Amino acid sequence: MKIIEGGVTTAKGFKAAGYGAEIKYKNRNDMAMIFSQVPCSTAGVFTSNVVKAAPVMWDKVITREKGVAQAVVVNSGIANACTGKQGEDICRKTAEVAGKELGIPYDTVLIASTGVIGMQMPMDRVQKGVEALAGIIADTKEAGTEAAKAIMTTDTYSKEIALEFEVGGKTCHIGAMAKGSGMIHPNMCTMLCFVTTDVAISHDMLQKALSSVVVDTYNMISVDGDMSTNDSLMILANGMSENPEITAEGADYDSFYEALNTLCTEMAKKHAADGEGATALFECHVINADTKQNARILAKSVICSSLTKAAIFGHDANFGRILCALGYSGVDFDPDKVILSLESKAGSVNVYKEGTPIDFDEEAATKILSEKEVTAFVDMQAGTEEATAWGCDLTYDYVKINADYRS
Amino acid sequence: MKIIEGGVTTAKGFKAAGYGAEIKYKNRNDMAMIFSQVPCSTAGVFTSNVVKAAPVMWDKVITREKGVAQAVVVNSGIANACTGKQGEDICRKTAEVAGKELGIPYDTVLIASTGVIGMQMPMDRVQKGVEALAGIIADTKEAGTEAAKAIMTTDTYSKEIALEFEVGGKTCHIGAMAKGSGMIHPNMCTMLCFVTTDVAISHDMLQKALSSVVVDTYNMISVDGDMSTNDSLMILANGMSENPEITAEGADYDSFYEALNTLCTEMAKKHAADGEGATALFECHVINADTKQNARILAKSVICSSLTKAAIFGHDANFGRILCALGYSGVDFDPDKVILSLESKAGSVNVYKEGTPIDFDEEAATKILSEKEVTAFVDMQAGTEEATAWGCDLTYDYVKINADYRS
């Protein structure tokens, strides 16, 4: 398995495009389409927010109940959430237009939206966008990148990845595009991520792999603790690599699982590092916890702490805030056993051990915390389980971006 | 019952003082003492953080098990948390010095600390501070104010309140001082608050009243979602108003309860309004929820949402973020029944009703959101329960204060 250049058009048989439909933004692309030459197995995981956007409800039926999809239509600018019956109608109409243009059943078209909540979509412009996209989709790397750019909102860079791996003697590919740097929270991804692969795999095994992989990847990131109404991670598998179809666990499933897991880990880190206003990726690695679930909760509590995030922005080794965040996580533990160090490319510094602070070189600590990727390394000395969570620092720009995002 | 001028020295028999002991800060008072002429019934509620500061563990024994206290010693600058055995020793020594100076048993001296976590206290300076305070405590209003000022950290104003009320035909008083504008989170107060009263009440009834009152007052505020290691709310009741001692529920208990509830509500709002960097008090009032607990969870979820808080700072009626925060609160509800309006002294605007956004005057909404106190009014149309939570906006100054608080 290796990471290669590419995105959603890397796997065989997938086309994509981006287009400027002026849904809300001007002078940029704001709609994207992904299309597979043949019908795909599909699976998805979605926001657990009670307030679900119309497209989330639409996609859940397709990915979870029907299991077959062939295209995706995405727009940025308006989330189509809290939009009632009208929002649902727009979803269905968009799928109908796309189905007609692409010559596929309308109920194999996945829909996704991101942007302002509580605003209605302009159906006329959506329709024009879909028609235009159907005419320009291509299987080139550039087409994939155009699609990835079109779905950005406050992201500072587009997010793509591709991997090559082997299943049953056949070379397979998996690629993805994603967006999202705000409204990112652990309970579910809180962003949009679309994965395409040419591996042959049944719907059941695809959903199983996806549901399992998100637990330690997308569910372990947070930018600001707000969980979106639109979070969606969907995968399309068209089988064009001609491997023997994966229908049960085994070596082939494991190969695919490993590729999907690597893809989701790398993409999750991209989301965290591009957190709104962020200057650094902040990782918390918890080891020797008593249970896996507790390791996850502890790691997430640290990367979600506003005070800790602000300290990271200030390059301040204020480790007491990390201990504090471990303490209010809900996990019961003995504070007198915890060992804490701060690490980055610039080195490592031990700051706390078994109940007492350690004298450390402030200057060295500041240097370590001034890197682009900073890790809080926590040894609970309570068992053998570990987990990693990813977040970012809290900056002036986070406030600036969100104080006036809508207008 | 009426609110009057005053603080911790308003109730009969209480003295207080502030003093500059240079625990960490220079050129300001950083230690305070409260002393009652006679032993008091005492009660307390404390942080639920697993990582508890040494003074919290000290005070829990006195307020919960022994039930009698006569003095309080507080310092700002260092939290005496994550300080191991040495931190516990310093607590005990501080109580011993105070006991000796004041001529009372050392185990009737409550201790509280606030400031940097993971730093040891300078015992020599603490001792000098306690000795100085014992010599200058006074029963004047000014002395109470000096004490209130000495315990501030990033607070922009000192927090005091006093009330007069009647119990069993006797005029009673209750007063308080508090600090805390960061590390404030709903699960427990996350600040220090000291309440003094001259009412006569048994330890059991005092603890009962306090534990009940915090649920809808201090536990309903949040500044940043971080729960401190030091949160403490303690009360001393010395009985000097000579009312028949309250030992059971009834009219007298109700009178006292009402006064304590009003005091805690007003103080909790002061904490929220003085949230680090805050420019506005942000209140969420949820009505017609199915259960009381769900009403509380919904209201708190809204005032804790970073995105909503940033929108309040930007005076932006981005109501979708409020619906989103209701949705991820963990409470199950029907989004199509929710009615949402935004209110302040400048007026009220309806923004969302039963599944769809309402067209509203943006200019009027901005004016409403530009006030110092802003309310999100949420009608769940699911029952008859209600709750209110208080927070503040998220500003550049919050980040500034916390990016470099320690150094």
Please name which of A401, A402, A345, A333 lies closest in space to residue A369, comparing C-alpha atoms: A345
Number of neighbouring beta carbons within 10 Å of residue B248? 10
| Among the partner residues B229, B335, B399, nearest to A50 by beta-carbon distance | B335
Structure tokens at B217: 């007052």
Provide the pLDDT for residue B157. Answer: 86
Helices (H), A84-187: 84-102, 123-136, 141-150
Residues 6+ apart with CB under 8 A from A302: A284, A308, A322, A325, A326, A376, A378, A389
Residues 6+ apart with CB under 8 A from B140: B9
Residues 6+ apart with CB under 8 A from B109: B69, B70, B71, B72, B73, B94, B95, B98, B99, B102
SS3 state at A382: coil
What is the rounded average pLDDT of the residues B336-352? 95
Q: What is the DSSP string of B190-202?
A: -SEEEEEE---B-
Provide the pLDDT for residue B51. Answer: 84
Please name which of B128, B176, B161 lies closest in space to residue B30, comparing C-alpha atoms: B128
Which residues, in sequence order, are bridge partners of residue B201?
A: B246
Which residues, in sequence order, are bridge partners of residue A341?
A: A350, A377
- pLDDT(A106) > 50: yes
pLDDT band for position A294 (cuts 50, 70, 90) = very high
B310 to chain A, any CB pair closer than 8 A? The answer is yes
Buried b (16+ CB within 10 A) or exposed e, B62-94: bbeeebebbbbbbbbbbbbbbbbeebeebbebb
Interchain CB distance below 8 Å, B321 and A396: no
Task: Determine whether A39 is exposed, middle or buried from the number of CB atoms within 10 Å of its CB (0-12, 13-18, 19+).
Answer: middle
The pLDDT tens digits of the residues spanning A337-372 come to: 999 999 999 999 999 998 888 989 989 999 999 999
Please name which of A373, A379, A369, A378 lies closest in space to residue A391, comparing C-alpha atoms: A373
Tell me the pairing of strands A192-197 and A31-46: unpaired
B95 to chain A, any CB pair closer than 8 A? The answer is no
Question: What count of CB pairs under 8 Å joins A to B?
Answer: 232
Structure tokens at B150: 């000495």
Length of chain A: 407
B279 to chain A, any CB pair closer than 8 A? The answer is no
Chain A residues with CB inside 8 Å of B51's CB? 323-324, 326-328, 335
Quote the pTM value.
0.80
Interchain CB distance below 8 Å, A318 and B116: yes
Provide the pLDDT for residue A189. Answer: 34
SS3 state at B66: helix
Provide the pLDDT for residue A47. Answer: 82
Interface test with chain A among B48, B50, B340, by most A beta carbons within 10 Å: B50
Distance of alpha carbon A331 from the chain centroid: 26
What is the rounded average pLDDT of the residues B175-190? 62
Interface test with chain A among B51, B154, B303, B316, by most A beta carbons within 10 Å: B51
Helix axes A123-136, A84-102, angle to 10 degrees: 20
Number of neighbouring beta carbons within 10 Å of residue A85? 11
Chain B residues with CB inside 8 Å of A395's CB? 399
- pLDDT(B398) > 90: no
The pLDDT tens digits of the residues spanning B246-264 come to: 999 999 999 999 999 999 9
Buried b (16+ CB within 10 A) or exposed e, A345-381: eeeebebbbebebeebeeeebbebbebeebbbbbbbb
What is the rounded average pLDDT of the residues B122-141? 98
- pLDDT(B187) > 50: no
Please give the mean pLDDT across all residues of chain B.
Answer: 91
SS3 state at A343: strand
The pLDDT tens digits of the residues spanning A173-209 come to: 999 999 886 544 533 334 789 999 999 999 999 999 9
Structure tokens at A172: 């397979």
Q: A175 to each of A60, A237, A316, B204, how far by Cα in Å? A: 21, 11, 38, 64
Which residues, in sequence order, are bridge partners of residue B393?
A: none
Provide the pLDDT for residue B404. Answer: 65
Please name which of A101, A100, A90 lies closest in space to residue A126, comparing C-alpha atoms: A90
Please give the mean pLDDT across all residues of chain A.
Answer: 91
First to last CA, chain B: 45
Residue of B nearest to A303 (CA): B226
> Which tops the pLDDT comparison, B307 or A212?
A212
- pLDDT(A406) > 70: no
Q: In this structure, which amino acid lies at residue B220?
A: M
Contact criterion met (CB below 8 Å) for B235 and B42: yes
- pLDDT(B223) > 70: no
Provide the pLDDT for residue A222. Answer: 73
Q: What is the DSSP string of A98-116?
A: HHHHHTS-GGGEEEEEEEE
Length of chain B: 407
Chain A residues with CB inside 8 Å of B56's CB? none
Contact criterion met (CB below 8 Å) for A404 and B312: no
Interchain CB distance below 8 Å, A332 and B50: yes
Q: What proportion of chain B, given as a percentage, has pLDDT over 90?
A: 70
A 200-259 near B (Cβ less than 8 A) = 224-229
Q: Is the ipTM of this complex over 0.95?
A: no
Contact criterion met (CB below 8 Å) for B138 and B99: no
Residue of B nearest to A405 (CA): B311
* Residue for token pair 């969570």: A389
Chain B residues with CB inside 8 Å of A24's CB? none
Provide the pLDDT for residue A402. Answer: 74
Provide the pLDDT for residue A338. Answer: 95
Distance of alpha carbon B104 from the chain centroid: 28
| Among the partner residues A117, A307, A326, nearest to B224 by beta-carbon distance | A307
Residue of A nearest to B337 (CA): A84
Number of neighbouring beta carbons within 10 Å of residue A4? 11
Which residues of A carry out catalysis?
190
Provide the pLDDT for residue A403. Answer: 77
Interchain CB distance below 8 Å, B328 and A394: no
- pLDDT(A272) > 70: yes
Contact criterion met (CB below 8 Å) for B352 and B339: yes
B86 to chain A, any CB pair closer than 8 A? The answer is yes
SS3 state at A295: helix
| Among the partner residues A183, A305, A327, nearest to B51 by beta-carbon distance | A327
* CA distance linking residue A112 with residue A47, whole number of Å: 12
Provide the pLDDT for residue B240. Answer: 96
- pLDDT(A404) > 90: no
The pLDDT tens digits of the residues spanning B66-85 come to: 999 999 999 999 999 889 89
Catalytic residue among B63, B108, B190, B388: B190
Provide the pLDDT for residue B183. Answer: 45
Residue of B nearest to A318 (CA): B406
Interchain CB distance below 8 Å, A50 and B326: yes
Contact criterion met (CB below 8 Å) for B304 and B391: yes
* CA distance linking residue A347 with residue A364, whole number of Å: 8
A 137-196 near B (Cβ less than 8 A) = 182-183, 185, 187
* CA distance linking residue B116 with residue B226, whole number of Å: 14
Interchain CB distance below 8 Å, A396 and B399: yes
Q: What proportion of chain A, given as a percentage, has pLDDT over 90?
A: 70
Number of neighbouring beta carbons within 10 Å of residue B126? 25
The pLDDT tens digits of the residues spanning A115-139 come to: 888 889 999 999 999 999 999 999 9
Contact criterion met (CB below 8 Å) for A43 and A206: yes
Please name which of A155, A404, A77 lies closest in space to residue B394, comparing C-alpha atoms: A404
A352 to chain B, any CB pair closer than 8 A? The answer is yes
- pLDDT(B176) > 70: yes
Provide the pLDDT for residue B189. Answer: 34
pLDDT band for position B188 (cuts 50, 70, 90) = very low
SS3 state at A10: coil
Residues 6+ apart with CB under 8 A from A103: none
* CA distance linking residue B326 with residue B305, whole number of Å: 9
Provide the pLDDT for residue A405. Answer: 56
